[in-house]
Chain A
Amino acid sequence: MNHTLSDIQVMTKRNLVKFVRIPQLIIFSTIQPVMMLLLFTYVFGGAIKTGTDEYINYLLPGILVQTVLFGAMMTGIGLVDDLSRGMIDRFRSLPMARSAVLAGRTITDLIRNLFTVGLMTVVGLLIGFRIDHGIFNFLSAVALITLFGFAFSWVSAAIGLAVKTPETAQVAGFIWVFPLAFGSSIFVPVEGMSSVIGTFAEYNPITYTVDTVRALTLGLPVGNNIWFSLAWIFGIMIIFVPLAINRYRAIS
Chain B
Amino acid sequence: MSNHPLISYVEEARWRGMSNKQILDSLISAGWQVHDLTNVFLDHIEIFHEPITTESKENIVTVRNISKIYNKTIKALDNISLDVKRGSVTALLGPNGAGKTTLVRILATLLTPEHGSARVAGFDIIRDAQKLRSVIGLAGQYAAVDESLTGRENLEMVGRLYHLSALSARQRAEELLQQFDLDDAGDRILKTYSGGMRRRLDLAASLVVRPQILFLDEPTTGLDPRGRFALWHVIRELVKDGTTVLLTTQYMEEADQLANKIFVIDRGSIIAQGTADELKKQVGGDVLELHVADRSFINEAVGVITQFGNEVPHINEDTNIITMAVTGGTSVLVDVVRKFDVANIKINDIVLRRPSLDDVFLTLTGHTAE
Whether B99 is near chain A, meaning CB under 8 Å from some CB there, is no
B residues less than 8 Å from A14 (CB atoms): 146, 149, 153, 157
A residues less than 8 Å from B149 (CB atoms): 14, 17-18
Whether B85 is near chain A, meaning CB under 8 Å from some CB there, is no
A10 touches B110 (CB 8 A): no
B residues less than 8 Å from A22 (CB atoms): 148
CB within 8 Å for A95 and B189 given contacts A85-B147, A86-B140? no
A92 touches B110 (CB 8 A): yes
CB distance from A24 to the nearest CB of B (A): 12
Considering the complex, which residues of chain B in the window 141-193 have a beta carbon less than 8 Å from any beta carbon of chain A? 142-149, 153, 157-158, 160-163, 189
CB distance from A98 to the nearest CB of B (A): 8
Whether B18 is near chain A, meaning CB under 8 Å from some CB there, is no
Stretch at the interface among B128-136, B231-239, B294-302: B128-136
A17 touches B110 (CB 8 A): no
A residues less than 8 Å from B158 (CB atoms): 90, 94
CB distance from B211 to the nearest CB of A (A): 10
CB distance from B156 to the nearest CB of A (A): 9
B133 touches A90 (CB 8 A): no
Partner of B162, one of A21, A87, A95, A252: A95
Number of interface residues of B (CB under 8 A): 30
B205 touches A6 (CB 8 A): no
Partner of A86, one of B109, B112, B143, B163: B143
Partner of B110, one of A6, A21, A87, A89: A89
Partner of A89, one of B134, B140, B189: B140
A10 touches B153 (CB 8 A): no
Chief secondary structure at chain B's binding surface = loop
CB within 8 Å for A95 and B160 given contacts A87-B146, A90-B140, A252-B111? no
B163 touches A85 (CB 8 A): no
CB within 8 Å for A252 and B110 given contacts A87-B146, A93-B133? yes
Whether B203 is near chain A, meaning CB under 8 Å from some CB there, is no
A residues less than 8 Å from B105 (CB atoms): 89, 252
A residues less than 8 Å from B112 (CB atoms): 252
Whether B108 is near chain A, meaning CB under 8 Å from some CB there, is yes
Whether B322 is near chain A, meaning CB under 8 Å from some CB there, is no
B residues less than 8 Å from A100 (CB atoms): 161
Please, how many angstroms separate the alpha-carbon atoms of A59 and B17 in the complex? Answer: 73
A residues less than 8 Å from B157 (CB atoms): 10, 14
Whether A38 is near chain B, meaning CB under 8 Å from some CB there, is no
Whether A91 is near chain B, meaning CB under 8 Å from some CB there, is yes
Most buried by A among B111, B112, B163, B189: B163
Whether A96 is near chain B, meaning CB under 8 Å from some CB there, is yes
Most buried by A among B105, B133, B157: B157
CB distance from A187 to the nearest CB of B (A): 35
Question: Looking across the interface, which residue of chain B has its beta carbon closest to that of A14?
Answer: B157
A residues less than 8 Å from B160 (CB atoms): 6, 10
Considering the complex, which residues of chain B in the window 50-109 have a beta carbon less than 8 Å from any beta carbon of chain A? 105, 108-109
Give a binary string over A1-42; 1 marks a CB under 8 Å from any B CB, 0 the rest.
Answer: 001001100100010011001100000000000000000000
Partner of B144, one of A6, A18, A86: A86
CB distance from B104 to the nearest CB of A (A): 10
Question: Looking across the interface, which residue of chain A has its beta carbon closest to that of B130?
Answer: A95
A residues less than 8 Å from B163 (CB atoms): 3, 6, 95-96
CB distance from A122 to the nearest CB of B (A): 27
B148 touches A21 (CB 8 A): yes
Please, how many angstroms separate the alpha-carbon atoms of A14 and B153 in the complex? Answer: 9
CB distance from A144 to the nearest CB of B (A): 31
Please, how many angstroms separate the alpha-carbon atoms of A3 and B159 in the complex? Answer: 13
A residues less than 8 Å from B153 (CB atoms): 14, 17
B residues less than 8 Å from A6 (CB atoms): 160, 163
Partner of A90, one of B136, B148, B205: B205
B144 touches A85 (CB 8 A): yes
A10 touches B161 (CB 8 A): yes
Please, how many angstroms separate the alpha-carbon atoms of A245 and B145 in the complex? Answer: 23
Partner of A17, one of B130, B142, B148, B205: B148
CB distance from A80 to the nearest CB of B (A): 15
B189 touches A21 (CB 8 A): yes
A93 touches B162 (CB 8 A): no
Considering the complex, which residues of chain B in the window 243-267 have a beta carbon less than 8 Å from any beta carbon of chain A? none
CB distance from A200 to the nearest CB of B (A): 37
Give a binary string over A62-99; 1 marks a CB under 8 Å from any B CB, 0 the rest.
Answer: 00000000000000000000000111011111111000
- In addition to A14-B149, A92-B109, A252-B105, 18 A-B residue pairs with Cβ atoms within 8 Å of each other are A85-B144, A85-B147, A86-B142, A86-B144, A87-B146, A89-B105, A90-B144, A93-B108, A93-B109, A93-B110, A93-B138, A94-B133, A95-B133, A95-B134, A95-B162, A96-B163, A252-B110, A252-B111
CB pairs A–B below 8 angstroms (29 shown): A10-B157, A10-B160, A10-B161, A14-B149, A14-B153, A17-B148, A18-B148, A86-B140, A86-B142, A86-B144, A87-B144, A89-B140, A89-B144, A90-B140, A90-B144, A90-B145, A92-B110, A93-B110, A93-B138, A94-B133, A94-B162, A95-B131, A95-B133, A95-B161, A96-B162, A252-B105, A252-B110, A252-B111, A252-B112
